[in-house]
Structure 1
Amino acid sequence: MTTAVIFDAFGTLIEIQNRQNPYKWLLRIGSQQGRVTLPSDLRALMALNGGLREAAHLFGIKLSSVQLIELQDMLDCELESIRCFDDAMPAIEHLQGYGIKVGVCSNLAGPYCSRVRSLLPGLDAYSLSAETGALKPDPSMYRSVCDMLDVSPGENLDFERDHVLMIGDSKRCDQYGPRSYGIQGHHLDRKGTGRFQNLIEFTSAIAQGSV
């Protein structure tokens, strides 16, 4: 029997309907000041438990008061536009009705954490990269959410281990990554080409014991 289910957040449970990309604009300002944008910048942002001012300080980017206000307005607009997918809460409630623990494990920048918690209240675990300081697919992220859920995962239905599932829109982070920690990962393909095209299909399969 499934003990716990872990969801990715963005692209799985929630979506940004009005993208403003404030952090991308922050890095562009840095480029204009001569700073070279690095491939590691995105990971650094998502491991930072702070806002735009802290991110600018991290990268050595100087922001005028006007620039900071403009970027903050963009961020606020983007945060306000975040909504749950129609199947998100019904899927969560379906699992909770069976007594299954539910958690979220997501890579995201600091300002998005409170928005995730407000849109997805009452979960058993929130493992968010800006708060943990680690990012998927680092095994420590999966360890973090499992510790919060108080489960010890094992993929092979060993009666001495917990059967823990995860689903998300990234094969690397939500399907293959969790397997490094004994979690049975699944890919959510909302474009309609994978096994699970929505969360109702996924939770129904759990109820039927077919995952």
Structure 2
Amino acid sequence: MVSTIIFDAFGTLVRAVGAHGPYWKLAGLMPGSNHLLRRRELMTSNRSFADFADEHGLTGQLESAAEDLRREIAAIALFDDSAVYVDALRYRGYKVAVCSNLAYDYGVRLKELLPNVDGMFLSCELGAIKPEKEIFKAVVDGLRVEPWECLFVGDTPRQDVKGPQDFGMNALLLKRNRLAPSLSEQVEVALKVYG
């Protein structure tokens, strides 16, 4: 029986931001041969954009990107139905957590937007990204639940469905478009399926 609902953040509870924003620019300027590995480093290190830029001597080259980041973070917002539904689930007795692949600066903002969840599991703090099993282990250990008690809800097939399922969790691929049912409707159907 599902007792815990774990949500992805961006594209699920939070309106998505551009994939090629300031951190993408930073990754492109960092030394190294593999852009994807540099992006992974940015998402699994508990250091800010400014810290990375300073560390690599890129502060001067990234002034406009740093300003773009400030604007982007200030504009981050929850979907209209997210906070109310999270509160309703907690009222009904479910544990509710967030598990997301995020760079440090985005995590700070996410914690401001969702202060009342039972757990916040961010790649930048855990040193692992979805779909790696280490991040899902951190979730179940932190919440003191078994994988089969969890329903993972997210908008990305590999990270939010296959990864959790491979770890033993139930999973729901959430659709967020104008024709899709609401967050609550989609999750409630999954809760009936998984008990």
Same fold (TM over 0.5): yes
Go from structure 1 to structure 2 and tell me whether the alpha carbon gap of 1:37 and 1:62 turns closer, same or farther (over 3 Å shift): farther
In structure 2, C-alpha distance between the alignment counterparts of 1:38 and 1:78, rounded to whole Å: 22
Q: Mark the CA change 1:175 to 1:192 in structure 2 (over 3 Å): closer, same or farther.
A: farther
- The counterpart of 2:52, out of the listed 52, 55, 62, is 55
Aligned pairs for 1:28-67 (under 5 A) are 28-30=28-30, 36-56=33-53, 61-65=56-60, 67=61
Give TM-score, length-normalised by structure 1. Answer: 0.81
Q: 1:96 aligns with which of 69, 90, 95?
A: 90
Partners of 1:88 and 1:182 in 2: CA distance? 25
User: In the alignment, does 2:172 pair up with 1:172?
Assistant: no
Could you say which structure has the larger radius of gyration? 1
Which residue of structure 2 lines up, in the alignment, with residue 201 of structure 1?
185
CA contact (8 A) 1:15 1:85 kept: yes
| Corresponding position of 1:157 | none
Amino acid aligned to 1:79:
I
In the TM superposition, structure 1's runs of 4+ consecutive aligned residues that sit over 6 Å from their partners are none
**Correspondences of 1:67-106 after superposition (within 5 Å):** 67-106=61-100
- Shift in Å, 1:200: 1.3
Query: Could you tell me which residue of structure 2 aligns to residue 117 of structure 1?
Result: 111
2:193 matched residue in structure 1 = 210
In structure 1, what residue type is equivalent to 2:182?
N
Whole-Å Cα distance in 2 between the matches of residues 186 and 203 of structure 1?
A: 8
SS in 1 for 2:50: helix
CA RMSD of aligned residues (A): 2.4
Distance verdict in 2 for CA 1:210–1:192, change over 3 Å: farther
**Counterpart amino acid of residue 92 in structure 1:** V
- Alpha-carbon distance between aligned partners in 2 of 1:25 and 1:44, rounded to the nearest angstrom: 14
Q: Is the 8 A contact 2:8 2:98 kept in 1?
A: yes
Displacement of 1:70 after TM fit? Answer: 2.7
CA distance in 2, matches of 1:78, 1:178: 29
**1:97 Cα deviation (Å)?**
1.8
The CA distance in 2 between the partners of 1:35 and 1:12, in whole Å, is 32
Which secondary structure state, in structure 2, belongs to the residue aligned with residue 126 of structure 1?
A: strand
Distance (whole Å) between structure 2 residues aligned to residue 44 and residue 6 of structure 1:
24
1:6 alignment partner, SS class: strand
Q: 1:210 deviation in Å?
A: 3.1
Q: What is residue 183 of structure 1 aligned with on the other side? A: 169
Deviation at 1:38, TM superposition (A): 2.5
Unaligned 5+ residue runs, structure 1? 155-162
Residue 142 of structure 2: aligned partner? 148
Among all aligned residue pairs of Structure 1 and Structure 2, give the percentage whose two residues are the same amino acid: 34
Contact 1:17–1:81 at 8 Å: present in 2 too?
no
Distance (Å, rounded) in 1 between the aligned partners of 2:165 and 2:126:
20
